[in-house]
Amino acid sequence: MNISAAPGSGSNSSSSATAPFSAPIDVSGIDVVVLGGGRGAHRVVPSLVDAGASVTIVAADVRATLEELPGGVRVHRDTWSDSVLEGAGLLVVTGDEPAIEGAEAGAFPEAIVAAVRSARIPVARADAELRNGGDGSVGVAEELKGTVALVGGGPGDDGMLTLRGRELLMQADVIIADRLAPQRVLADVPAGTEIIDAAKIPYGRQMAQQAINEAMIEHAKAGKFVVRFKGGDNFLFGRGYEEALALAEHSIPTFVVPGVTSAFAGPALGGVTVTHRGVTHEVTVISGHVPPGHEKSLVNWPAVAAMRGTVVLLMAVKNGPAIADALIEGGRPADTPVSIIESASLSTERRVDATLASLREVMAAENVVPPAIIVIGEVAGLPQVLAPDRL
Ligand SMILES: C[S@@+](CC[C@H](N)C(=O)[O-])C[C@H]1O[C@@H](n2cnc3c(N)ncnc32)[C@H](O)[C@@H]1O
């Protein structure tokens, strides 16, 4: 993890709290308090959560993506109070909390120094060291300036981001990142990179698409290299083409780096193949964000029900049961196997099995939450022969 630790524990000199040393820290199972909820926190909190830490963010303003991280973080919205450190095993100072003046400059405020000394816990600082320079600057290739790359991040684990996608992220001046994009990789980008949180959370806070487009246009016109970073593949229910059109209107050169889509990675990680020789010759990928019969639905559900192959539903946690009803009504056998893969590739990944008939009951009983892929068809009933990846 890209953080460095300062020996605040039991230290008697204030200089030790301001002189970080690089050291790997095992944070698994540890209560970690993070000061700040902005850019610096965005760089380290996903890695901390992923590494098994129990994270409390102390900040008046916290990026929505961090609050909604699978696995969860607690947020303490007040400014500093010594009680925050009770039970904590590590304090991380990110330098992006205005209420905690001095942290960014490298000197911890007196109150924190005193509290850390009496609590005797280690202190770490979000690392400002860079792979791409060392001074916080970003090295952007000349031909990328003023352009936008639409980069697909894969299902969520940064190991499933493409090499090209990672390469471009490391060069970006500005990254506009969605919640479902792999957050952990953001810990590795140069400190000078601006990270904008688009926080597209279902039924929750959203940065309007218009605002995202405007941000891309404004930064590209200023000569910056912008990466629009999304989960999965930008062109599968990712508004990628919509964004490309908006950029084209402003003559901004735009290119795409395809990502591993959750539509196929999700089932595969859950041990479900979407095709199998002799079983199915077709896969239909459908958005379930509106239910059958909805005035905005563009799906011919009777036609889907009449097909025999695999159906993969995205954005269907809310409407999955209504879709199952429509498929049964359209002639699909009620005992057709269904698998739900929740949070594919993330530490909270799980697979839940049902049938079309039992889907409503099973999803409620298992409290299935987004993001999840629902796979319908005989393939979901094949024997499970794959071992889980040790990510
Ligand atoms: C707006 S769509 C974006 C899909 C994305 N462009 C892709 O190619 O994966 C969001 C939906 O993708 C699915 N999804 C994305 N990441 C997922 C994950 N890690 N596990 C399960 N489903 C996921 C869920 O169905 C979620 O509601």
Give 270-292 pLDDT, tens digit per residue.
999 999 999 999 999 999 999 99
State whether the beta carbon of 231 lies less than 6 angstroms from ligand 1: yes
More confident residue, 352 or 67: 352
Task: Determine, yes or no, domain membership for 132.
Answer: no
State whether the beta carbon of 339 lies less than 6 angstroms from ligand 1: no
Active-site amino acid positions: 178, 200
CATH of residue 163? 3.40.1010.10
State whether the beta carbon of 238 lies less than 6 angstroms from ligand 1: yes
Distance (angstroms) between ligand 1 centre and the Cα of 321 equals 18
Q: How far apart are CA 76 and CA 46, in angstroms?
A: 17
The rounded mean pLDDT for the chain is 84
Shortest-distance atom of ligand 1 to CA 235: 6
Cα-based angle 42, 45, 47 (whole degrees, multiple of 5):
110
Helix spans in 51-99 (H): 64-67
As a dihedral over the C-alpha atoms of residue 71, residue 76, residue 79, residue 80, rounded to 10 degrees, the angle is -80
Q: What are 305-353's pLDDT values in tens digits?
A: 999 999 999 999 999 999 999 999 999 999 999 999 999 999 899 999 9
Most confidently modeled range among 95-109, 127-141, 358-372 = 358-372
| Exposed/middle/buried for residue 142 (C-beta within 10 Å: 0-12, 13-18, 19+) | exposed
**The amino acid at 175:** I
Extended beta strands in the chain, E state = 3-6, 31-35, 54-58, 74-76, 90-93, 123-126, 148-152, 174-177, 194-197, 226-230, 254-257, 283-287, 310-314, 337-342, 350-355, 372-376
Banded model confidence at residue 207, pLDDT cuts 50, 70, 90: low
Task: Determine, yes or no, domain membership for 136.
Answer: no
Same domain, 65 and 149: no
Same domain, 9 and 111: yes
State whether the beta carbon of 229 lies less than 6 angstroms from ligand 1: no
Q: What is the pLDDT of residue 100?
A: 52
Closest C-alpha among 323, 335, 69, 22 to residue 182: 69
Cis-peptide into 302, omega within 30 deg? no
State whether the beta carbon of 343 lies less than 6 angstroms from ligand 1: yes
Domain containing 187: what range? 142-260
Q: What are 225-261's pLDDT values in tens digits?
A: 999 999 999 999 999 999 999 999 999 999 999 999 9
- Helix, strand or coil, per DSSP, at residue 93: strand
Name the β-bridge partners of 342: 350, 372
More confident residue, 134 or 42: 42
Q: What is the pLDDT of residue 9?
A: 33
Of 373, 376, 389, best ligand 1 pocket probe by most atoms within 8 Å of the beta carbon: 373
Is pLDDT above 90 for 23?
Answer: no
The length of the chain in residues reads 391
Total number of domains constituting the chain = 3
Closest C-alpha among 44, 46, 47, 50 to residue 65: 46
CA-closest residue to ligand 1 atom 12: 314
Most confidently modeled range among 131-140, 195-204, 229-238 = 229-238
Q: What is the pLDDT of residue 237?
A: 97
As a dihedral over the C-alpha atoms of residue 47, residue 346, residue 275, residue 334, rounded to 10 degrees, the angle is -160
CATH of residue 304? 3.30.950.10
Task: Determine, yes or no, domain membership for 390.
Answer: no
- Helix, strand or coil, per DSSP, at residue 13: coil
Same domain, 175 and 221: yes
**How is residue 367 written in tokens?**
């409290």
Q: What is the pLDDT of residue 290?
A: 96
Q: What is the mean pLDDT of residues 57-73?
A: 83
Distance (angstroms) between ligand 1 centre and the Cα of 87 equals 36
Shortest-distance atom of ligand 1 to CA 345: 19
Task: Determine, yes or no, domain membership for 377.
Answer: yes
- Helix, strand or coil, per DSSP, at residue 368: coil
Distance (angstroms) between ligand 1 centre and the Cα of 215 equals 23
- Helix, strand or coil, per DSSP, at residue 272: coil
Same domain, 187 and 158: yes
Q: What is the pLDDT of residue 208?
A: 81
Of 206, 209, 228, 262, best ligand 1 pocket probe by most atoms within 8 Å of the beta carbon: 262
Task: Determine, yes or no, domain membership for 13.
Answer: yes
Task: Determine, yes or no, domain membership for 131.
Answer: no
The dihedral built from the CA positions of residue 326, 330, 333 and 337, taken in this order, carries a sign that is negative
Is pLDDT above 90 for 299?
Answer: yes
Q: What are 92-117's pLDDT values in tens digits?
A: 877 665 545 444 444 456 667 777 77
Same domain, 246 and 300: no
Q: By mean pLDDT, which of 71-80, 90-99, 178-187, 214-223 is the weakest?
A: 90-99
Banded model confidence at residue 129, pLDDT cuts 50, 70, 90: very low
Give residue 258's Cα distance to chain centre.
17
Q: What is the mean pLDDT of residues 122-150?
A: 65
**How is residue 91 written in tokens?**
């304090």
Banded model confidence at residue 205, pLDDT cuts 50, 70, 90: low
- Cβ atoms of 218 and 173 within 8 Å: the answer is no
Q: What is the mean pLDDT of residues 165-181?
A: 94
Distance (angstroms) between ligand 1 centre and the Cα of 156 equals 9
Q: How far apart are CA 368 and CA 307, in angstroms?
A: 26
CA-closest residue to ligand 1 atom 22: 372
Task: Determine, yes or no, domain membership for 134.
Answer: no
Same domain, 175 and 99: no
Task: Determine, yes or no, domain membership for 59.
Answer: yes
Is pLDDT above 80 for 215?
Answer: yes
**How is residue 359 written in tokens?**
């889907």
Q: What is the mean pLDDT of residues 136-141?
A: 58
| Exposed/middle/buried for residue 391 (C-beta within 10 Å: 0-12, 13-18, 19+) | middle
Pairing outcome for strands 54-58 and 254-257: unpaired
Q: How far apart are CA 100 and CA 207, in angstroms?
A: 27
Q: What is the pLDDT of residue 21?
A: 28
Q: How far apart are CA 34 and CA 41, in angstroms?
A: 7
Distance (angstroms) between ligand 1 centre and the Cα of 279 equals 25
The dihedral built from the CA positions of residue 169, 170, 172 and 177, taken in this order, carries a sign that is positive
